[in-house]
Structure 1
Amino acid sequence: MLAIDRTMRASAIDEAENAADNEAAILAAGLESELDKFSLVPLVLARDPQVQSLMAGDRTQQSDLNQRLQQIAQQTGAAVIYLMNRDGMTLAASNWNLPDSFVGSAYSFRRYFVDAKASGVATEFALGTVSRRPGLYIARRVDAASGPVGVVAIKVEFNPLEASWAKATSGVYVTDADGVILVTSNPAWRFSTTASVAPGTRDAQQDLQQFGMAKLPPFDPGKNRESTLTPALIESLQPVPSLNWNLHLRSDPSTSLAAAKANGRLLFLLLLLLTAAIAALAVFGVRRREARAEALVTERTGRLREQLQQANRLATLGQITAGVGHEIRQPVAAIRILAETGERLGERGAHTEATANFARITALADRIGTITDELRRFSRRGLREPREVPLRQVIDGALLLLRDRMAQLNIDLILPPETNLDLIVRGEHVALEQVLVNLLQNAFDATGQEGTVSVDIIETGKFRKLSVTDNGCGLTADQRASLFQPFVTTKSEGLGLGLVISQDIMRGLDGDLIEEPVAVGTRFTMLIPAV
């Protein structure tokens, strides 16, 4: 009996450890997803023309920037976004109109400010000097032609994430490289240290400034346990590479051990009563135990995956994904139509035509992947090798994606002459098509039902000009002045990054994207290098 209990207990602990490792990996992925939402905001703002003007001393931008930062913070869920000059004085902030506004406060003593000025980018987890709420500060240096002129910072607080952890697990905490607990499901654990600290090895003044206490207490997770007879919790470790953090998950194996103990005793009784069927009953007991353990793992994994999916949905509200969502929906719609058509062709026995549809589906799926790669290229400032591309292919590909929308709006589309369509340019096919789709979508939005949109191609020097013109209401002077400014949009949805990304793509191909004045409507022109 004792031997069976020991065997079943050891097996149950192994399975509980494996389940805990899977849960820790899901939680770490959820945390990474939460952080990814905010990674692009400081990068884009550091290059923002309005931010550059404010840093250069143009205080007329301050009021507009305060309101923009407030809107961006609301859209992303950031606790606060603020801009500091080279001396650490806050010039603009998303909480400009609140009693605890950062505007006018100096943060040159903060480590993230010092490190960002030195290396360009920095992070620091600390208590807020005004709010006294913990959070992660992500900072990026603002550079001008004369050198560094300031720092843009965003503070991320993890209250909703910690609350979801507290409901789903026995205990979760995240430690930094020194073993200090930062994010946790149990607030009483925060800023205690899991590593032994020799006297005099930590900077007490720095700890007081960063964590609100000069001496960090040692982490003692077992002091509040109700009974010493309770099985020891299983601790799983999962790295969070982007910040050099580690996520620790403490799981209670009591349920698995209780099931294992019950199964072991049942197996013992069956062995006594039915010795003739010992092999079959042993298999039955093992399968029953495994089924219960699997059900427990499935329940926990499903709950955690649901939390991860919610984090991913929040991440899609971030600036870049929102900027190209309409560009991805069209290939998906085209894939569905091709699949449905292929199914009907297969039912009629037209297998050759159906196979051709599936090849088009594969090509559209590849195009979706390339578009998402283009977003990563935008953040990395990386370029693929250009090649010779016929403009006909670029235009045909864009119209394939937009065919349904054109039909719904009854758009009168005017295309260039056939001779111009055969012109060859130097670029990257999917990147050029992405920009053209963006411009056509904007033109359709401007014209609405039964509008007229024309696509023109002009040879001019070392460039080919591919223009999209609509007969909509046109642009005001203010709108024209801020066309390529991040987070500025006239649409009710979106973050206003579509034109910014498109212009960056064209410049990465040694071309450009410009707006040209016309008597009626709006015209955007892609300057594409000629072969």
Structure 2
Amino acid sequence: MQVLRPLWTWISRHTGLVVGGLAVVALSAIALIVIDRFERASALSQTRAVAAGDAEILAGGLRSELDKFSLVPRVLAEDPQVGALLDGTRAEVPRLNRRLEQVARQTGAAAIYLMDADGHTLAASNWNLPTSFVGSNYGFRDYFRDALRAGSATQFALGTVSRRPGLYIAQRVEAAGKTIGVVAVKVEFTELEADWRSATLGAFVTDGDGIVLITSDPAWRFRATRAIDYEARNRQSDLQLYGVARFDRLAEPAGDGQLVSTPLEIGANTILPRGWTINLLVDPAPQVAAAVATGRLALLSVLVAFGLLVGIAILLRRRREARTNALVAERTATLREQLTQANRLATLGQVSAGIGHEIRQPVGAVRVFAETGEKLLAKGMVEEARTNFARIVELADRIGVVTGELLSFSRRGTRAPRVMPIGQAIDGALLLLRDRIERLDIALERPLPGVAAIEVRGEHVRLEQVLVNLLQNALDAAGHAGRVAISVEADGANCRVTVADDGPGVPAGVRETLFHPFATTKDQGIGLGLVISRDIMRELGGDLEYSEGASGACFIMTIPRA
């Protein structure tokens, strides 16, 4: 009691100090709870935003991969050698086997094979392997039956021989209006899944029923992300396709782990499955812990010296914001580069079929001139033969121009701007789109040679990419027998290239968000083409703007003059 009396006396004399101290402790506890919650929510929001961008990059890479493979069966279905084999020319089997083997090696396909109308495999890229498909009958497969019925089909399933999962893309082969067979490509995603495994905490693709198909963790494959209605499913078929009759549920992410999902929207030129979704697993725990620790440190500094901490807290927050902005800027630059390349490759895939026509035509002419030249030489008509060979050289130069333009357009990376005539980029873009322009019977207006010779300071491939995007949009809007005009004008500092069409134009409600990410008027578009194009132009010191035209849409590229 005698010990407590002095303490009580001290408390009585310093009541205000004691009450103030208790108030500081209470406020500190409340502030600690509030700061912890705030920092946690902020870190979770920031992590989810970054993860959404990463998921879109993964989706773009997978879309490009699938777009590439979807063209293979279409091209082979129209190949004369394939048609000859299905018509009964069995002498073509060895040659076609080797050719399919070469195409599979070049494209990275797991297998390419040809079946007759009954499902019997006549030729395959794996003809010389123990797991060869030659002689096997796949008439029971859904992709075979659906391709016979609808013309094209896809199916994800385990291989009947290899038991390795993959996507089967099938295309019907016709001759004289009659179905004579089916060509199919099997795509396996082993390398893609390995890349996901090394670069992410976890990533997987689900079909429309929520079943995991492609995954960075093999243990997740053929698990379900939601309840399955087994009454509506054929368990025997599931067992044959996936190796399981019932799908175990995929466990929810532990702790703060979250799933970020984005639909795998497929372009209009593909035959790939609908309803696929790509899912990215993220763990925000490190970011949350760092944010919470930063908040508590700030609070501790406030308790130590409130007055001094005001300035220090502002400094710390600015430094943290600077670090965050630097990280966001770095990620944004990487995302922009990857999205630009993905956009370029997707565009290249859309125009590649037309480029094939540009190459096949001169190749056929080269053969005719060569055969004629040989006969002329045999008859001693040297001058006439020399004329034929000169034409062969011209056609070879033409092929070189087309393939060179394709190679230049597909290259990755950013080059320093240089002085170049603006007509060089215009000619390259029109070369890539020439076949589509002719098919649509477009009335195309081009700038005069003298105007096209105006020199600008730019980078050929990136200017060409912007022009291809704008021209693709203009062709979509103009439609068959429409009109597209390219004009060039210049003043003292800048050159302006205008791409206009006579289509329906841009709706008034869309113009304000025209250059915003994911804003689009197309059913199959994702709304990144114009955003990427404007970024490219501004990086080159210019700009891209929309202008209201007399009819249709009008886009203006501003480029610095040399």
TM-score of Structure 1 vs Structure 2, range by shorter chain: 0.5 to 0.7
**Secondary structure in structure 1 of the residue aligned to 2:115:** strand
Rg bigger for which structure? 2
Q: Which aligned pairs between 1:34-433 and structure 2 lie closer than 5 A?
A: 34-222=65-253, 231-242=255-266, 243-244=273-274, 245-277=276-308, 279-293=310-324, 324-328=402-406, 342=419, 360-361=421-422, 363-374=423-434, 377=436, 382-385=439-442
CA distance in 2, matches of 1:189, 1:301: 31
In the alignment of these two chains, the number of paired residues is 367
Partner of residue 2, structure 1: 33
- Counterparts in 2 of 1:328 and 1:107: CA distance versus 1, 3 Å: closer
Is the CA contact (8 Å cut-off) linking 1:27 and 1:304 kept in structure 2?
no
For residues 373-395 of structure 1, give each alpha carbon's deviation from its aligned partner in whole angstroms, at most 9, with x where no partner exists: 347x39xx9434257999x98xx
Match of 1:241, SS state, is coil
Counterpart-to-counterpart distance in 2, 1:205 and 1:186: 25
- Matched residue SS, 1:167: helix
Residue 122 of structure 1: how far off its partner (Å): 0.9
**TM-score of the superposed pair, with normalisation by structure 1:** 0.61
Report the CA distance between 1:2 and its aligned residue. 1.6
The residue matched to 2:229 in structure 1 has which SS? Answer: coil
Partner residue, 1:477: none
Is 1:23 matched with 2:80? no
Amino acid in the other structure paired with 1:235: L
CA distance in 2, matches of 1:94, 1:178: 32
Structure-2 change in CA distance of 1:181 and 1:123 (3 Å): same
SS at structure 1 position matched to 2:226: coil
Higher RCO (CA 8 Å, separation ≥ 6 residues): 1
Unaligned runs of 5+ in 1: 226-230, 343-357, 398-427, 431-531
| Closer/same/farther in 2, CA of residues 210 and 306 from structure 1, 3 Å limit | farther
Query: How many percent of aligned residue pairs carry the same amino acid?
Result: 49
Q: CA RMSD in A?
A: 3.9
Amino acid at match of 2:56: A
Deviation of 1:305 after TM superposition, in Å, equals 8.3
Cα distance change of structure 1 residues 150 and 79 upon mapping to structure 2, 3 Å threshold? same
Separation in structure 2 between the aligned mates of residue 313 and residue 133 of structure 1, nearest angstrom: 32
Aligned CA distance change for structure 1 residues 12 and 286 (closer, same or farther; 3 Å) = farther
CA distance in 2, matches of 1:299, 1:92: 49
The one-character-per-residue Cα deviations of 1:210-262 (angstroms, maximum 9, x if unpaired) are 1111112121244xx5xxxxx32121111111232100001010121121012
Pairwise CA distance, 1:282: 3.5
- Tell me: CA distance 1:207–1:21, structure 2 relative to 1, closer, same or farther (3 Å): same
Query: Does the CA-based 8 Å contact 1:174-1:183 persist in structure 2?
Result: yes
What residue in structure 1 maps to residue 395 of structure 2? none
Q: Which amino acid aligns with 2:403?
A: G
2:69 alignment partner, SS class: coil
Deviations 1:320-357 (A, max 9, x none): 6897431356899xxx9xx85x5xxxxxxxxxxxxxxx
Q: How far 1:129 sits from its partner (Å)?
A: 0.4
Q: 2: distance between equivalents of 1:162 and 1:330?
A: 29
CA contact under 8 A between 1:192 and 1:219: conserved in structure 2? yes
| Alignment-mate amino acid for residue 131 of structure 1 | S
Counterpart CA distance in 2 for 1:72 and 1:329 is 19
Q: Which residue of 2 aligns with 1:447?
A: none
Query: Are the equivalent residues in 1 in contact too, given 2:209–2:228 (CA < 8 A)?
Result: no
Give the C-alpha shift of residue 27 in structure 1.
Answer: 0.6
Q: 1:272 to 1:198 in 2, by over 3 A?
A: same
Residue aligned with 2:231, SS? coil
